[in-house]
Homo-oligomer: A and B are copies of this chain.
Amino acid sequence: MRIGELAAASGHPTRTIRFYETRGLLPEPTRSTNGYRVYTGADADRLEFIRNAQTAGLTLTEIASIIHLRDAGTAPCSHVNQLLDAKLADVQQRLDQLTELRSELQALVRRGRTLDPEDCTTNDICHILRPLAPT
């Protein structure tokens, strides 16, 4: 299988496939006599794995760390569990931050509906965007 076919099969552009190779996500493929990359079904599987892992929010660097373990002969399970735990904590933290920001925005939106533009003076710039009383 040449790179174009793998690209068609996997849905990744050929550029991305080469890029993954440089990032250690795909093994260096064998080459045909003309220098073209030659791939097997295992490469297609790996590309699918990468896509699954990306869906879980892992970065390419993290995915590479999993693949390297596997290639070194170690089952990456406990490492993957660690990554997932950390990622989950990360997502939770961002959720908390965003939830707080949403509360603040909601309060500002409410304020914006009650304040009269006539009362907005130049030196305020905007009387809506002022600090909120701590909730």
Q: Which residues of A contact B (CB under 8 A)?
A: 42, 45-46, 49, 52-53, 55-58, 66-67, 70, 75-78, 80-81, 84-85, 87-88, 91-92, 94-95, 98-99, 101-102, 104-106, 108-109, 112-113, 115, 117-118, 120, 122-131
Contacts and interface: CB of A to CB of B under 8 A. Distances in A.
Specify how many copies of this chain sit in the oligomer. Answer: 2
A115 B49 contact: no
Contact of A56 (B46, B104, B113, B125): B104
A117 B75 contact: yes
Contact of A126 (B57, B77, B102, B123): B77
27 contacts: A42-B123, A45-B125, A49-B125, A49-B126, A52-B130, A55-B131, A56-B101, A56-B104, A56-B105, A57-B101, A66-B126, A66-B129, A67-B125, A70-B122, A70-B125, A75-B118, A75-B120, A76-B126, A77-B117, A77-B126, A80-B112, A80-B126, A81-B113, A84-B105, A84-B109, A84-B128, A95-B102
Give the dominant DSSP class at A's interface: helix
